[in-house]
Structure 1
Amino acid sequence: MVPPPGAAPRPPVVTLGGNGAHPRGRKTTVYAALGQWCFGNPWRILASWLVFAVAAAVLAGTLGASYGAALSTPDSEANRSAEVLEDHFGSVGSTINGTIVLKAESGVNDPAVRTAMTELLATVDAIDEVTVSSPYGRDGGRRIAVGGPGAGKYAFADVELSRNFNVDEAGPLGLEIIDLIDASGLRSMDGVEVEMGGSWLARQEPPETEAIGLAFAVFVLIAAVGSVVAMGVTVGTALVGVGIGVLAITALSNTVTVPEFAPTLGVMIGLGVGIDYALIILNRFREWVGRGLEPQEAVGAALDSAGRSVVFAGATVVVSLLGLLLIGLPFVAGIGLSAAVTVAIVMVGSMTVLPALLGLTGDRMTTTRVRGITAAALVAVALLGFGTGIRPLLAALPAAAAVLIAGAFGGNRNPLRRILGHREPKALRDTAWYRLSRVVQARPWLFALGGTAVLLVLAAPVLGLRLGFSDEGNFPPDTTTRKAYDLLAEGFGPGANGPLFIVAETSAPADLGTLDGLSGALNQTAGVAFASPAVPSPDGGAALIRVQPTTGPQDADTESLVHELRDNVIPATLDGTGVDALVGGAVAFQIDFSDFLSGRMLIFFAAVLGASFLLLMAVFRSLIVPLKAVVMNMLSIGASYGVLVAVFQWGWFGSVLGIEAAPIEPFIPMMLFAVLFGLSMDYEVFLLSRMKEEYERTGDPVNSVADGLAATARVITAAAAIMVVVFGSFVLEDNRVVKLFGMGLATAIAIDATLVRMLIVPSTMELLGARNWWLPRWLDRIIPNLRIEGELREQSQRPA
């Protein structure tokens, strides 16, 4: 290997390698030995994974799911108010709650309506761990609309779940309540509407749209690897890891706070990175076979080259996600831990299951028959039908089975058994990717500045980013949750969907009068529709004031109202009285949660970017390359954030995508950053390690860029295209958080793999030339050399 001109002596290379003899006289590393052993012992590997899967299934089935929804924030005012409410009022103000909303044109006190509604609410109240506050009860007057055209026609009942209730139990409870509503006969009465509100009680449909991504992956992989068997090996490897990952998340939910959408995120991320990792290793394996290595030796070489970058990128994603544990919020930690477990399992699967499957398939990896490609196309059609809900397309699945069966008979005379030819690969410098790189390098300033300008324009909306939680008004219009939200807003005003609870502990009878004075002040405050008198707790140790804002839960004015009450109204009214009032309720919980994360987001970003700079500096022995990588990561992720703000917060194209404008959930930016950081590092390492390899071999800073791009662009583009569709397909789901993740990941990957890797990287590499690989001698001596490209490179045999 020819070192760059003027380079300092290299420090010892840090590798996890053994000292066994390589079949061709080179030393065998741990990576190579692992790949060769898995290749030679496929049934042992697959049996081990089967045992692992069965154990995970048994554990998950025994423990069951126990998803949590607590948005508790350390030492927040909402948290302290919840403790007071729990101690003195029971479940009032719980974050897991709902409403049963009634609209009756004849009036909610119509005898037939009232009788049926009273019986329904009594039945719901009899359910364990559920408390119902009826509009027909002793203090139910405030739950019946007064004034305006809807006076007396609207009513609602609060449904409070105890804090012992798990979110996974809330969904089935919601279905049970809907069945009770249907059985009550209310919906069959003329002019009567009854709906159940509350996001935690909403029916959660299992995701199906990932099948759309798989259908697309089938075609892209066949085109990219030229083999149905290779496609099946790649997808199969990813599915093994994803399946076990979801089971692990289910079991994990019993020990940490895991939100109910975590398995869906696990499927999304696992499928994307699983196919990505498997494709990168498979592509390198085929390249080594093309250089003349035997398949078993080629598997070892593939793991010692591409496998290293997979481990590096996967470990980076895992560490980034585990970094969310340091935020100190159980809800966020549960999301990060769930995703990290899935990525780790998928990464290990890529390094073990894939070599084992390669050992089983043998020569069939390069053979494609008519029956195989026909059956694969039919399976893709069936997957598309499943993902889009077009059920007649599912008939393609038995048709695929029929094709495979028909193709098993008749010998070579059967046209289904005919082997399809493959196009001979072009020499690197005859490919379109090489020509693209040379075009970019011929006008480096144009592409560098133009590409950066596009990223800045896409990222511009992020300046208006508002973190917060969406509400039930963002549910699809045909759901009972959305209908209940709309009815409540019609009858009582938007703020009825997100009341505030002001609670204070009392030690003397005069304290109650003081709080009644606060209630009067609240009723004079802008943004308050209604504040109730102070209601003492059953034990007399606290009092509660219910406040209804004039605006909805996700409205920016509601957030401003909460801060106004805490900072000005309450202190000004209670100063010197000895009474300490706290603002709580679900909306206050969400505001405190958002504020807490906002204050730590930049610290998290800085830590991740700093770590990436140091890692890339050790990998590429350069200061410029990691600095550019950090800047490009920031720009591409910023562009993704900008698209999310425009679509989800501003509502652009919302009618097309089924999205209502709302704030961006506060944990989304951190999660996206952690995942995208690792994925972009994968492409960065895969592309730049090839460029560096070419440069160190030839010392040519110009052609090394073009050769490196030409050698990697096809697999990067294929992997990115698959991930874009896999992630993008989740935009079709109903869950807003899943939509956000899907679009954020798809947008960032599309930008990173095209605009950044194919245009900005080659242009900036051209502008800086040999300076890309500059590192001060003193720094070169002290930092470890983390070699990603491996020990099994044959510099004398370059791929054509």
Structure 2
Amino acid sequence: MLRHRLLVGLLWLAAACAGVLAVAQVPDRLREDFAPPGSAAVDANDAIVAAYRSGGDEKPVVPVVTLPPGTSADDPRARSALRAAFAAAERAVGGRAVSYPRTGDRGFVGDGGRTVYGLVFPRVSPGESDMADGPDPARLLDGAMRPALPDGASLRITGMDGLEEDAGGEGPSVLVETLVGGLGALVVLAFVFGSLLAVVPLLIAAVSILTSFVLVYAITGVTEVNFMVQFVVALIGLGVAVDYSLLVVTRWREERARGLDGAAATRRAMATAGNAVVFSAAAVAIGLIAMVAVPVGFLRSVAYGGMIIPAVSALATLTLLPVVLVTAGPALDRIGPRRRATGARAGRAWTAWARRVIRFRVPAVLASVAVLGSLAFAATGMNLGEAHSGALAKSGPAYDGLSELRRAGVPSGVLTPVDVLVPRGTDPAAVAAELRTVPGVRAVAAPGDGAWRDGGSAVLTVVPVAEGGTDEGRATVAAVRDAAPPGTMVGGGTAAEMDFADTVYGIFPIMLGLVCLLTFVLLARAFRSPLLALKAVLLNLLSLAAVLGAIVLVWQHGYGSDLVWGISATGSVAAFVPAMVFAFLYGLSMDYEVFILARMREEYDRTGSTRAAVVEGIGRTGRLVTSAGLILFLAFASLAAAPIIEVKIFATGLGIGILLDATVVRALLVPALVSLFGRWNWWLPGWAARVLRVAPSPLPAPEEERERIAAAV
């Protein structure tokens, strides 16, 4: 690279310029579809939308009409007006609508008949994921229904989509979030370096992100890519690229402080820290294999984006960064208001910390495992599903409509109905009668005319008591599926969510085993130690379980979501979140393991002392890992500003995971365990060394180990 500086620089400049163009084009080529293909619910939803152009997994708009005091929906004049109003609503959205005047079902009224609600399914086209680009259905319904309502009646319009919009708002764009994360990274880097050298990792991150968008743009021409990829590339790319370059630049400064010139220091940094970058990027890619292997399109597309960014970041770190360091590094490092120590010696604070951890290694292990184990236990209560309506908004028109339903004694399950497609040759009335007997069903709408019949088939709408995101709601959907006669297709968003969880987590144990095996082999070769590799894999799994438990506490139970974001307990966690948190955190947190243990292995090979390896390894990497973790945390905190609750939960999990990993796991549990394992850390038998194609590492004798420790001290 150093012999071809100009060529390397021009190639990366061209890639970054192409990335500027790609950034503007990529958002228009992304999709918002989360459904897994080929599941029973997705097939049902597709068939319903193809035949009736409404419903499926698209949630209905729910108009809530409150009649004047003393007036009931059974009054002939009021009933006639309500019938006209809901007919106008059906025409306004071009779909289908159902209500009490049309069915006579008391399940569509509340408060003794004074409150009447309906389900209005706007028209959609096959392949559409939502109505975001069309007219607002709530406004259409308001304009169509009000003129037909009785005098003195009030109209409020709610629905799950409306509640989510009221809760989220617009939120900042990907560009704004990336800039906010970059500003936070600059502050941390300025503190670490105290010179203009702080801009170098940000330069590498900017080039890596822009180049990654070029590759994402190319992928969109081959396969469908989910909209979350842009967040993944921009914000995870910011953290990963800065982490990799921070590791190399820190080692470069250390070698410079030992007297090497710019080029020699760069070569030495690449031979040590650069090697760790390669293994770190490989660990991130391995963690994402689980999502690539899962037969769900949107998870695969996010995994593609997730693998692109560490690969490009590592490539930029290994090629462009050496050129920048040799060309401008010394000059940049001399400019700064408060230039910090270059790192010729290990940090005193972290060295002292490592000695204390070694001294109290047993209590350190017990305390760390207690914290992580308690959080991991909370994960056993995770409820997969959609967020409850009460968590979506605390104000706004949709919230007012939900409040009116509750006041009238109508359960919120009416917001998440289930569409049932009855095939030709099956009596829809008989199916409806059977489904009305299912526990948890409030009403079954089966109009025999208009938009509810097509070519001999029929669509029914089952109105549950409990929301689909609750255990009771899912139990109702499962019971509806069991009660439906053969040939009948049960759709709806809840059924699709249930199928999604079965698809993803049904094969997840196999994928988890594959990922752990590949990671073990990779790390065993990197550390030349099967014990260190096994420890890294097991600690990663424990850390991930703790993160899932933290998500349950913060979001599902609301211990933090209301305080930070003003969002009440969601009651559940979207089914895709645990899989994505695992895939990304497994590799990202392994970065710190590689950074620390690679340095410990280097120091052990130099001194032959486990104690010296732990003290020097933590002393050299403690501030680096803490700073890198803080930068990643700031990037994820920026991602948590996204308006979508599921993205907030995902970002929260990543942020908590990075903090736990950089503090409890890597700064406390890892050095304590390495100290406990002693000489067994460094053992690599000959047969394993031949398989891994590295030099063997014989097991030192206990006496020799003690002598080496005494000599080192």
Give secondary structure in 1 for the equivalent of 2:432: helix
Counterpart among 503, 511, 516 of residue 429 in structure 2: 516
- Quickly say closer, same or farther: Cα 1:253–1:430, change in 2 above 3 A: closer
Q: What SS class does the counterpart of residue 171 from structure 1 fall into?
A: coil
1:50 equivalent in alignment to 2:12? no
Instruction: Give the number of aligned pairs.
Output: 676
In 1, distance between residues paired with 2:109 and 2:225? 41
In the TM superposition, what is the alpha-carbon distance from 1:641 to its structure 2 partner?
A: 1.0
Q: What is the CA–CA distance in structure 2 between the aligned matches of 1:185 and 1:353, rounded to whole Å?
A: 63
User: How far did residue 704 of structure 1 move?
Assistant: 1.7
User: What is the Cα deviation at residue 619 of structure 1?
Assistant: 1.5
The answer on 1:68 being equivalent to 2:32 is yes
Question: Does the Cα contact within 8 Å between 1:618 and 1:786 map onto a contact in 2?
Answer: no
Q: Find the aligned partners of 1:288 and 1:191 in 2 and give their Cα distance.
A: 79
Could you tell me which residue of structure 1 aligns to residue 665 of structure 2? 756
Per the TM alignment, residue 143 of structure 1 is displaced from its structure 2 partner at its CA by 11
> Residue 544 of structure 1 aligns with which residue?
459
Tell whether 2:376 aligns with 1:459. yes
Q: Over residues 171-194 of structure 1, what are the superposed CA-to-partner deviations in whole Å (9 max), with x where a residue is unaligned?
A: 2325x556657877969x987445
- The SS at the match of 2:375 is helix
| Pairing 1:700–2:614 present | no
Alpha-carbon distance, 1:249 to partner: 4.3
> 1:687-711 CA deviation, whole Å, 9 max, x = no partner?
1111111111121222122111111
Paired with 2:321 and 2:79, the residues of 1 have a C-alpha distance of: 68
Partner of 1:214: 182
CA separation in 1, counterparts of 2:341 and 2:113?
Answer: 75
The correspondence of residues 688-727 of structure 1 with structure 2, limited to 5 A, is 688-727=597-636
The Cα shift of 1:606 comes to: 1.7
Question: What does 1:664-683 align with in structure 2 at a 5 Å threshold?
Answer: 664-683=573-592
SS at match of 1:277: helix
Higher mean C-alpha deviation, range 681-690 or range 195-204:
195-204
For 1:53, give the aligned amino acid.
G
Correspondence for 1:584? 491
Aligned partners of 1:720, 1:303: CA distance in 2, in Å? 22
Aligned equivalents of 2:318, 2:641: Cα separation in 1: 32
Supply the RMSD in Å over aligned alpha carbons: 3.6
1:643 counterpart residue number = 550
Change (3 A) 1:764 1:362: closer
Q: Report % sequence identity.
A: 27
Is 1:499 the counterpart of 2:427 in the alignment? no
Q: Matched residue of 2:610: which SS?
A: coil
Question: In structure 2, do the counterparts of structure 1 residues 243 and 110 end up closer, same or farther at CA, with 3 Å as the change threshold?
Answer: farther
Q: Does 1:161 align with 2:124?
A: yes
Per-residue deviation, residues 562-614 of structure 1 (Å, max 9, x unmatched)? 222334x34xxx5xxxx433322221111111222222222222221121111
- Aligned equivalents of 1:638 and 1:786: distance in 2? 35
Q: Which of residues 654, 663, 666 in structure 2 aligns to 1:745?
A: 654
| Contact 1:38 1:45 survives alignment (8 Å) | no
The amino acid across from 1:273 in the alignment is: V
* TM-aligned CA deviation for residue 51 of structure 1: 3.7
Cα 1:490/1:544, change in 2 over 3 Å: farther
Matched, 1:627 2:588: no
Q: How far off its partner does 1:721 sit?
A: 1.5
The residue type paired with residue 77 of structure 1 is A
Q: Report how far residue 529 of structure 1 moved.
A: 0.6
Partner of 1:736: 645
Change (3 A) 1:687 1:597: same
Instruction: Tell me if 1:354 matches 2:321.
Output: yes
Give the 5 Å matches for 1:202-281.
Answer: 202=165, 204-207=170-173, 208-227=176-195, 229-246=196-213, 249=216, 252-253=219-220, 255-281=222-248
Q: 2: distance between equivalents of 1:194 and 1:248? A: 46
Deviation at 1:218, TM superposition (A): 2.3
* Among 121, 125, 134, the residue aligned to 1:173: 134
Q: Distance in 2 between matches of 1:590 and 1:298?
A: 54
Matches within 5 A, 1:246-645: 246=213, 249=216, 252-253=219-220, 255-358=222-325, 361-369=328-336, 420-424=337-341, 428=345, 431-470=348-387, 472-478=389-395, 482-483=399-400, 492-507=410-425, 511-512=426-427, 515-533=428-446, 535=448, 538-567=453-482, 569-570=483-484, 574=485, 579-645=486-552
For each residue in 1:726-783, what CA deviation from the matched residue of structure 2 results, as whole angstroms up to 9, or x when unmatched? Answer: 2134334432122112211111111111111121111111122121111222222222
Q: Deviations over 1:480-520 (max 9, x none)?
A: 5555555566665322111112333233xxx31xx533433
Give the direction of change, closer, same or farther, for the CA distance of 1:432–1:271 in structure 2 (3 Å limit).
Answer: same
* More displaced stretch, 694-703 vs 298-307: 298-307
- Mapped partners of 2:15, 2:584: distance in 1: 25
Distance of 2:609 and 2:34 partners within structure 1: 57
Secondary structure of 2:133's aligned partner: helix
C-alpha separation in 1, matches of 2:458 and 2:87: 28
> What is the CA-CA distance between 1:142 and the residue it aligns to?
6.8
Cα drift, residue 270 of structure 1: 1.7
TM value normalised by structure 2: 0.85
Match of 1:90 in 2: 52
Q: In the alignment, what sits opposite 2:706?
A: none
Q: Indicate conservation of the 8 Å contact 1:42/1:359, yes or no.
A: no
Separation in 1, partners of 2:264, 2:6? 10
- Superposed displacement of residue 548, structure 1: 0.9
CA distance in 2, matches of 1:667, 1:779: 38
Structure 1, unpaired ranges of 5+: 1-33, 126-130, 370-419, 788-800
My pick for the range that moved more, 639-648 or 65-74, is 65-74
Task: Give the counterpart letter for 1:497 in structure 2.
Answer: L
Question: Using the alignment, how far apart are the partners of 1:254 and 1:139 within structure 2?
Answer: 47
Q: Which runs of 5+ in 2 are unaligned?
A: 697-713
